[in-house]
C-alpha cells in the first residue's frame, strides 16, 4: 500500500498543481506556456493510467482470476510483430535492432495475449534502458524440444546484488542512476504470466 500510495501521489500532485496554475493564471498565460502545462498534465495522466492498468493486471494474476487460454501458434511470428511496435523508439534513439529469429520453429501452446504481454514488457525494458546509439538483440531459437526467446541490450546492466530482486513487485533500478521512471511492475507481471504457464 505504501508503494502504491507513493507512486499514485506523485503524478496526481503534478496534475493537480498544473491544473490549479492554469485556473489561477488563466488569461495571463501565453499560448506556449498553456501548451507546456497541458503537455505536463497529459504526461502525468499517462503515467497514472499505466500504473493503474499494471496494478489491475497484476492483482488479477496474483488472485488467480486469469486462466491461460492456450492454443498453438508460432512464437517467431509473435516476437517479430511485437518488435515492429518499437521501430519508432529505435529510430528516435538511433538504436539498432539485431533480429535473429529462426523461421523454422515448432508451434508452441500458450495464451497468445499473455505471451504478447511478456514479450512487450521485456522489449519495453530493453529499449528503455538502452542509451542512444545503442543496440537491442532479439533471438528466437530452438533449444532441444523448446522454443527459447532471449532479449539483450547494450545498457549499463544491472548490479549483481540487484539481480535476485528483478522480478519483485516495485523493484526499480535507481532512478537517479538510470534517469528512467517506471511502475516497477512490468517484470513482476512477466514472472506471474510465465509461472501460470509453468515456465
pLDDT value at residue 1? 67
pLDDT value at position 156?
A: 84
Could you tell me the sign of the dihedral formed by the alpha carbons of 51, 55, 57, 61, in that order? positive
Q: What integer pLDDT is reported at residue 110 of this predicted model?
A: 96
Tell me how far the alpha carbon of residue 77 is from its chain's centroid.
Answer: 20
pLDDT computed for residue 121 by the predictor: 93
pTM of the model: 0.78
pLDDT at 176: 44
State the Cα–Cα distance between residues 68 and 182, nearest whole angstrom: 26
pLDDT at 170: 67
pLDDT of residue 64: 84
What confidence tens digit (pLDDT) does each residue in 43-75 have? 999 989 988 888 888 888 888 888 999 999 999
The pLDDT value recorded for residue 87 is 92
Stretches where the chain sits below pLDDT 50 are 175-178
Positive or negative torsion for Cα 14, 16, 19, 21? negative
Amino acid at each position: 500500500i505504501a508503494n502504491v500510495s507513493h507512486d499514485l501521489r506523485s503524478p496526481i500532485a503534478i496534475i493537480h498543481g498544473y491544473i490549479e496554475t492554469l485556473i489561477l493564471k488563466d488569461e495571463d498565460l501565453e499560448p506556449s506556456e498553456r501548451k507546456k502545462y497541458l503537455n505536463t498534465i497529459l504526461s502525468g495522466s499517462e503515467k497514472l493510467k499505466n500504473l493503474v492498468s499494471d496494478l489491475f493486471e497484476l492483482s488479477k494474476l496474483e488472485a488467480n482470476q486469469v486462466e491461460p487460454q492456450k492454443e498453438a501458434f508460432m512464437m517467431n511470428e509473435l516476437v517479430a510483430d511485437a518488435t515492429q511496435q518499437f521501430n519508432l523508439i529505435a529510430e528516435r534513439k538511433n538504436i539498432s535492432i539485431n533480429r535473429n529469429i529462426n523461421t523454422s520453429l515448432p508451434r508452441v501452446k500458450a495464451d497468445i495475449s499473455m505471451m504478447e504481454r511478456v514479450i512487450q514488457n521485456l522489449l519495453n525494458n530493453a529499449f528503455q534502458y538502452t542509451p542512444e546509439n545503442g543496440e537491442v538483440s532479439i533471438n528466437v531459437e530452438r533449444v532441444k524440444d523448446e522454443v527459447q526467446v532471449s532479449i539483450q541490450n547494450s545498457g549499463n546492466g544491472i548490479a549483481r546484488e540487484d539481480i535476485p530482486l528483478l522480478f519483485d513487485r516495485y523493484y526499480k533500478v535507481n532512478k537517479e542512476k538510470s534517469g528512467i521512471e517506471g511502475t516497477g511492475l512490468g517484470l513482476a507481471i512477466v514472472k506471474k504470466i510465465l509461472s501460470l504457464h509453468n515456465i
